[in-house]
Amino acid sequence: MESYAIDAEKELLVEFTGKPDLIIGNYTDGNLVAFLLSRRLNVTQCVIAHALEKSKYSKSDLNWEDLEAQYHFSLQFTADLITMNAANFVVSSTYQEIIGTENSPGQYESYQSFTMPKLYHVVSGIDLKNPKFNVVPPGVNENVYFPYTRIEDRLLDNRERLEDLLFTLEDSQKVFGKLSDISKRPIFSMARLDRIKNLTGLAECFGKSKELQEQCNLILVAGKLLVEDSTDTEEISEIEKLYQIIDKYNLQGKVRWLGVRLSKKDSGEIYRIIGDRQGIFVQPALFEAFGLTVLEAMISGLPTFATRFGGPLEIIQDKVNGFYINPNNHEEIAETILEFLSKCDFNPHNWKEFSQKGIQRVYDNYTWKIHTNRLLSLAKTYTLYNYVSGDNREDMLRYVESLFHLLYKPRAKALLEEHTTSVG
């Protein structure tokens, strides 16, 4: 990371013919590079963490030694502490990402105090009351994701190719499962195949509900189809689990699993094809930091059912423009979906009403234009503050630099040597 930052500095100075005004980091590694660059160039630094790993895994701090070989938590958590405190301002997707809820700590809040035995103890890791924290939700690109009703902007060739992929194509390298009745209403979901995204949980929910199976097909766009194509232990486990669920509940002919990586353009059109058939989108994650797929589905016109744990709680207004679901309660998920579908059968306008309300919710709050305008406004404000405050932050910056050089860097160097040796 440090070598990359030094190399990037040279290229950026040439590209901009001078220093940039703002450096934004994304995720742990990007934020660390942003910290190193902004410190070297003395410019405003913004942290956008998106999905901090610490709150995803129970007792990940106390059990860090057992998990170190797989996740390198000692490096991740240390880098997060450094970059959060060094940043001039922090952009969060939701309020609960910062401070949490009554029942669960926020992602940033989890860094306030914690212990990593035999490594260090944190007594004041982050000040959540600091005005550097700002909520600026991500937005969707309206040129890629737009309502299924905008027929004039959709390409016929793409529609035909992707409809074939979704419903009829027989290609064992790309698709598992042949649908017995493609006229059924599609339940659609798209995510990585890892435990937290919980697509296997959605499949099991579908398998347990005969009523859902009678009315709907389940269509999943989810990573790889074959365990031999993956090197990720968690993904391999989820692949095996999904096959087991399909067999256990006899879901052949009712489930279609696409093991493909879609371009942005294709993923946008797939949402719209599901909308053509008055389908629904379900996001069943055990926890979701924000939920971009929720926005993508809503702006495309799909009535959306999303986890109540995390960002979707702020995106969706329950039973107004979408629905909350508890990913741990399969019976409740099925009941919520079936109640909606029953109302749609009684009054076909019900589907279109929720479709339109979801579209409007995104256009009012979650477009790329709204996001960039807010971000640029914050950049101007904090750049001015950074200029006026001068050396007031220098003591703190030198402290986090000492964490980088004395704690993070030696551990990162040891890890690099370990990987170099194993590859050799």
pLDDT at 360 over 90: yes
How is residue 223 written in tokens?
A: 């990573």
Residues in the chain: 424
pLDDT at 390 over 80: no
How high is the pLDDT of residue 172? 86
How high is the pLDDT of residue 54? 86
Amino acid at 82: I
pLDDT at 419 over 70: yes
Q: Which fold has domain 151-366?
A: Rossmann fold (3.40.50)
Report which DSSP code applies to 322: B
How high is the pLDDT of residue 157? 83
How high is the pLDDT of residue 119? 95
- Intervals of CATH 3.40.50.2000 along the chain: 2-138+370-423, 151-366
How high is the pLDDT of residue 6? 94
pLDDT at 391 over 60: no
How high is the pLDDT of residue 19? 92
The larger pLDDT score, comparing residue 402 to residue 58, is at 402
Dump pLDDT digits (tens) for 84-141. Answer: 999 999 999 888 889 888 877 888 999 999 999 999 999 999 999 898 999 999 899 9
Non-local (6+) Cβ contacts of 85 within 8 A are: 125, 126, 396, 400
Dump pLDDT digits (tens) for 140-163. Answer: 999 999 999 999 999 888 899 999
Dump pLDDT digits (tens) for 174-230. Answer: 999 999 999 999 999 999 999 999 999 999 999 999 999 999 999 999 989 999 999
How high is the pLDDT of residue 55? 78
> Half-sphere exposure of 195 toward its Cβ, with a 13 Å CA cutoff?
6
In whole angstroms, how far apart are CA 116 and each of 22, 63, 67? 33, 8, 12
How is residue 58 written in tokens?
A: 């129970």
Dump pLDDT digits (tens) for 258-283. Answer: 999 899 999 999 999 999 999 999 99
288 DSSP β-pair partners: 310
* Contacts of range 325-333, beta carbons closer than 8 Å, 24 or more positions apart: 325/282, 325/284, 327/198, 327/201, 327/284, 327/285, 327/286, 328/286, 330/201, 330/204, 330/205, 330/208, 330/209, 331/208, 333/202, 333/205, 333/282, 333/284, 333/305
Give mean pLDDT, residues 374-379: 92
Superfamily of the domain at 2-138+370-423: Glycogen Phosphorylase B; (3.40.50.2000)
Among 249, 254, 276, CA closest to 355:
276
Among 298, 336, 297, 292, CA closest to 310:
292
- Is residue 7 very low, low, confident or very high in pLDDT (cuts 50, 70, 90)? very high
Among 120, 103, 102, 313, CA closest to 111:
120
Dump pLDDT digits (tens) for 13-66. Answer: 999 999 998 999 999 999 999 999 999 998 999 999 777 888 778 899 999 999
- Is residue 299 very low, low, confident or very high in pLDDT (cuts 50, 70, 90)? very high
- In the chain, what percentage of residues exceed pLDDT 70? 99
The larger pLDDT score, comparing residue 231 to residue 422, is at 231
